């Protein structure tokens, strides 16, 4: 008797519903994250995807879901940033009761999986990537404007699917029935507008600076023509293993036994719970501009009262944007965030809020690998954040290029402040000011 089709359920990520399903009950949780777009209902009913799910579920409890804006999940008007997509993955893990899982991402979903592993290492046993698009500096398969226009014009047609099948599944070339199935899968996975947004965003996201912060076992799988980016990623992730898929078919659900065996060996090699001593975080430093002169002008009591009101504004913003206060020294704050967009919005909120008190603050942000020291964070990333803040002007929110590269699709606008040397930090750092931070 055939096994029943897994039940599709929904996890809430904020007020967005994310469709997910669980296949099997293996000893290790494995979450598959579609690159580009998919449709969970369609995949659970397609024989090719059913075989893919069954094979992965033979060594794991497999969790599959549709990303926001695609498939059965809620459609959104705005682009889904890396930060919101991490929130969605975490919501699905919480919904299925998973404390830690192997995260398996394809194509441009690789960037989110890597960022999630660095930000929440305690929840990730390992990472599997397939044909990853994660760094604009290494990618050779990100679409141009002309490519995107052509793809969208032909979106969901048999001709478009057939052309893709010739490259990705040559053993099925000329199979009109399979081309119809894949064209239908495109249409059910995403609208042309959603597909265009995903393709454009994939060109803007760059997690290259994050790669050294990945401290979990990583398997980078790729087809031969995409070896260059796979080598780039594997060389920058400590202990990463690279595996070239022999083909001839490269659709994820048509991989041969050798590729599946490699995945199973990797999953089965992961033992015990992760015990991270580093974490990827966005650090924020703020301080009041001209505080000494203002204190002398007001006197001790009035200045102390003004500083307390300033602290209240900062702490309200930290609460709203999920920041963690790590230290307060005089009139300055040191805080951390699990996402750079929230950190930037918190900083701009503080800059705007304290102006009503007749104060100007400067703020600096950097995203990097931080050492966990009890409840505190330390390391070079913290030093960089402090140095960036010191270079900011009154009412300015200054960020490193690392932060800027991680917020693609957020709508945030930056002004290039050029390269700078940061005291005590090797090399030059490109800095950017958040446009209209104090407006």
Segment 394-411, tens digit of pLDDT: 999 999 999 999 998 888
Q: What is the pLDDT of residue 198?
A: 84
| Interhelix angle 82-95/340-355, nearest 10 degrees | 120
Q: Is the Cβ–Cβ distance between 40 and 72 less than 8 Å?
A: yes
Tell me the average pLDDT across 185-196. 91
Cα–Cα dist 286/351, whole Å: 9
Query: For residue 134, what is the DSSP state?
Result: -
Q: What is the pLDDT of residue 118?
A: 95
Residue 140: burial class (beta carbons within 10 Å; 0-12, 13-18, 19+)? exposed
Tell me the average pLDDT across 346-359. 95
Tell me the average pLDDT across 273-298. 88
Q: What is the pLDDT of residue 275?
A: 61
Q: What token pair was written down for 343?
A: 């950190």
pLDDT in tens, 47-85: 999 999 999 999 999 999 999 999 999 988 777 899 999
Give CB contacts under 8 A, 24+ apart, made by 253-262.
Answer: 253/43, 253/46, 253/48, 253/49, 253/51, 253/52, 254/48, 254/169, 254/171, 254/172, 255/52, 259/221, 260/55, 260/56, 262/219, 262/221
**Mean of per-residue pLDDT scores for the chain:** 92
Q: Between 195 and 170, where is the model more confident?
A: 170
Q: How far is CA 346 from CA 254, 313, 317, 318, in A?
A: 45, 10, 6, 6
pLDDT in tens, 110-157: 999 999 999 999 999 999 999 998 876 555 556 678 888 888 899 999
Q: What is the pLDDT of residue 375?
A: 85
Q: What is the pLDDT of residue 199?
A: 84
Domains of the chain: 9-268 (3.40.50.1820), 278-434 (3.30.70.1230)
439 has pLDDT over 60: no
Q: What is the pLDDT of residue 141?
A: 58
Kindly compute the dihedral angle of the four CA atoms of residues 241, 244, 245, 248, in this order, to the nearest 10 degrees.
Answer: 180
86 has pLDDT over 50: yes
Q: What is the pLDDT of residue 1?
A: 35
Cα–Cα dist 66/61, whole Å: 17
Q: Which of 22, 190, 7, 30 is nearest to 108 (CA)?
A: 190
2 has pLDDT over 60: no
């Amino acid at each position: 008797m055939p096994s029943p089709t897994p039940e599709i359920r929904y996890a809430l990520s904020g007020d967005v519903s994310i469709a997910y399903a669980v296949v099997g009950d293996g000893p290790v949780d494995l979450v598959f994250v579609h690159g580009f777009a998919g449709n969970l209902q369609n995949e659970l009913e397609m024989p090719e995807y059913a075989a893919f799910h069954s094979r992965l579920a033979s060594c794991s409890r497999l969790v599959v879901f549709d990303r926001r804006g695609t498939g059965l999940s809620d459609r959104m008007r705005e682009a889904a940033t890396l930060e919101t997509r991490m929130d969605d993955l975490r919501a699905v893990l919480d919904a299925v009761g998973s404390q830690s899982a192997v995260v398996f991402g394809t194509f441009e979903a690789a960037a989110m999986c890597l960022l999630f592993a660095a930000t929440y290492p305690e929840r990730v046993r390992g990472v599997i990537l397939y044909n990853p698009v994660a760094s604009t500096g290494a990618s050779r398969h990100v679409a141009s404007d002309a490519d995107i226009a052509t793809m969208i014009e032909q979106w969901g047609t048999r001709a478009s699917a057939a052309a893709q099948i010739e490259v990705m599944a040559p053993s099925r070339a000329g199979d009109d029935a399979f081309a119809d199935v894949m064209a239908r899968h495109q249409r059910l996975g995403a609208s042309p507008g959603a597909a265009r947004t995903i393709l454009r965003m994939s060109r803007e996201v760059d997690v290259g600076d994050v790669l050294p912060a990945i401290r979990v076992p990583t398997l980078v799988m790729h087809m031969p023509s995409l070896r260059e980016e796979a080598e780039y990623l594997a060389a920058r992730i400590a202990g990463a293993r690279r595996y070239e898929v022999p083909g001839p078919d490269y659709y994820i659900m048509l991989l041969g036994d050798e590729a599946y065996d490699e995945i199973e060996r990797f999953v089965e090699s992961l033992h015990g719970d992760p015990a991270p001593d580093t974490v990827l975080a966005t650090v924020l430093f703020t301080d009041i501009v001209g505080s000494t002169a203002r204190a002398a002008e007001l006197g001790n009591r009035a200045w102390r009262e003004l500083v307390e009101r300033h602290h209240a504004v900062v702490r309200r913003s930290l609460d709203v944007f999920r920041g963690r206060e790590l230290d307060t020294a005089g009139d300055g704050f040191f805080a951390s965030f699990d996402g750079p967009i929230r950190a930037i919005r918190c900083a701009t909120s503080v800059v705007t809020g304290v102006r009503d008190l007749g104060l100007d603050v400067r703020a600096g942000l950097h995203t990097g690998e931080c050492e966990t020291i009890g409840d505190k964070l330390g390391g070079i990333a913290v030093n960089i954040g402090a140095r960036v803040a010191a270079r900011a002007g009154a009412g300015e929110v200054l960020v490193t290029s690392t932060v800027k590269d991680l917020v693609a699709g957020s709508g945030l606008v930056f002004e290039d402040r050029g390269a700078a040397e940061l005291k005590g930090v090797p090399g030059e750092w490109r800095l950017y000011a958040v446009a209209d931070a104090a407006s």
